[in-house]
């Protein structure tokens, strides 16, 4: 059995799906590992480290894609490279089935098994494979660091002989994995932290991290059975809007993390709310790539409105590619381990397994 991985488009994605440490784990399951030349060199991992771990390095990406039983990537391959994959091969990654619907349909018609790991069910057995949680954790941390770096005042309270500098006030919109890490990071750095979320279950988690949970009067619990946020009613949105408009008057930094799987990001901070914010405030919008939670958000741009900076990147994890790759590689390995029939030493597409059924897309 062969596992292969080729370099992503470096302008879009710096993370990798295989680290030298993980190579040894694949070998222990009986796999051979094939990687493209200079696979991890941009992260300071040279080919020698992969060779010493037991991987095989190839100059020919076509050979890797056509001969591998399992192909593991970050994002969807280009049309040219996708066309090389054939029947019964297994393609694993984070493929955004809503954006890449046509590509996935073409692969499925060729009887390629396409597994997209953002579709993993939120069950205990899947936690070690949960790429959304591992990557969102880092994204929430880095969003705070980036926002603070662009905030032109001190964050913690400082008492000096010349006077006292008050602590910065931070609002985190969305208290999922990224939001909770953002709260924890901002709190550790001395900020006063507020948070809001449509899921009432988040209140206890926010407060356990030292944040203050902003509750909309008469809140309904907007949480799916899978633990994700679902779309709010118009009445709820109006109440939330009024609460946010008042809160933003005293907030210095906002970190937006609200996403609904498979849909455009909800617009939460509207144009009129920005007028309430103090000049010099900063908004970091982690939802930028899906349209943003804030009016005027544009991916990979800093937009300034009324003295408020609105930031958002297409892929913030390109700023933490080593840490993100280490976690992602472990998530993917655990998923492949679950796919493998240990006795027969082959990939087993068992649709009675909820993990496999939910992530196998394009059927």
**Which of 252, 308, 296 lies closest to 270 in space, CA to CA?**
296
Determine which one of 122, 219, 278, 353 is catalytic.
122
Annotated catalytic residue 205: no
CA separation for the pair 254, 289 (Å, rounded): 17
Between strands 192-196 and 56-58, the pairing is unpaired
**Which of 268, 238, 297 lies closest to 172 in space, CA to CA?**
268
CA separation for the pair 107, 82 (Å, rounded): 8
Annotated catalytic residue 98: no
Determine which one of 47, 228, 296, 323 is catalytic.
228
Burial-class residue 58 by CB neighbours within 10 Å (0-12, 13-18, 19+).
Answer: middle
CA separation for the pair 116, 360 (Å, rounded): 7
Determine which one of 36, 116, 133, 240 is catalytic.
133
Phi, psi torsion values for 3, nearest 5 degrees: -110, 130
Determine which one of 68, 130, 252, 284 is catalytic.
130
Decide: helix, strand or coil at residue 197: coil
CA separation for the pair 114, 92 (Å, rounded): 6
Determine which one of 41, 127, 208, 233 is catalytic.
127
Annotated catalytic residue 228: yes
Q: Catalytic residues, which ones?
A: 122, 127, 130, 133, 228
């Amino acid at each position: 059995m062969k596992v292969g991985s080729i370099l992503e488009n470096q302008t879009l994605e710096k993370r990798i799906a295989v680290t030298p440490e993980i190579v040894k784990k694949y070998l222990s399951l009986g796999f051979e590992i094939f990687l493209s030349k200079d696979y991890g060199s941009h992260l300071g991992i040279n080919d020698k480290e992969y060779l010493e771990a037991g991987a095989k390095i190839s100059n020919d990406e076509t050979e890797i894609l056509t001969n591998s039983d399992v192909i593991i990537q970050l994002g969807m391959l280009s049309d040219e490279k996708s066309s090389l994959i054939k029947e019964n091969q297994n393609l694993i990654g984070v493929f955004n089935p809503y954006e890449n619907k046509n590509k996935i349909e073409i692969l499925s018609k060729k009887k390629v098994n396409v597994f997209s790991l953002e579709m993993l069910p939120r069950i205990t057995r899947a936690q070690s494979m949960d790429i959304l949680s591992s990557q969102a954790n880092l994204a929430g941390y880095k969003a705070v660091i980036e926002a603070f770096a662009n905030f032109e005042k001190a964050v913690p309270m400082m008492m000096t002989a010349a006077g006292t500098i008050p602590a910065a006030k931070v609002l985190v919109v969305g208290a999922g994995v990224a939001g909770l890490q953002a709260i924890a990071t901002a709190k550790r750095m001395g900020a006063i932290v507020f948070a809001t979320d449509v899921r009432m279950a988040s209140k206890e988690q926010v407060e356990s991290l030292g944040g203050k949970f902003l509750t909309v009067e008469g809140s309904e619990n907007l949480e799916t059975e899978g633990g994700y946020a679902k779309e709010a009613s118009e009445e709820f949105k109006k109440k939330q809007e009024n609460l946010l408009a008042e809160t933003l008057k005293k907030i210095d930094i906002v970190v937006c993390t609200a996403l609904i799987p498979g849909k455009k990001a909800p617009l939460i901070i509207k144009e009129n709310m920005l007028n309430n914010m103090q000049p010099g405030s900063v908004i970091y919008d982690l939802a930028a790539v899906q349209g943003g939670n804030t009016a005027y958000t544009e991916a990979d741009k800093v937009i300034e409105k009324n003295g408020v900076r609105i930031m958002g990147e297409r892929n913030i994890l390109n700023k933490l590619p080593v840490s993100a790759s280490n976690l992602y590689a472990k998530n993917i390995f655990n998923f492949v381990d679950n796919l493998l029939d240990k006795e027969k030493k082959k990939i087993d597409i068992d649709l009675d397994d909820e993990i496999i059924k939910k992530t196998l897309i394009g059927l």
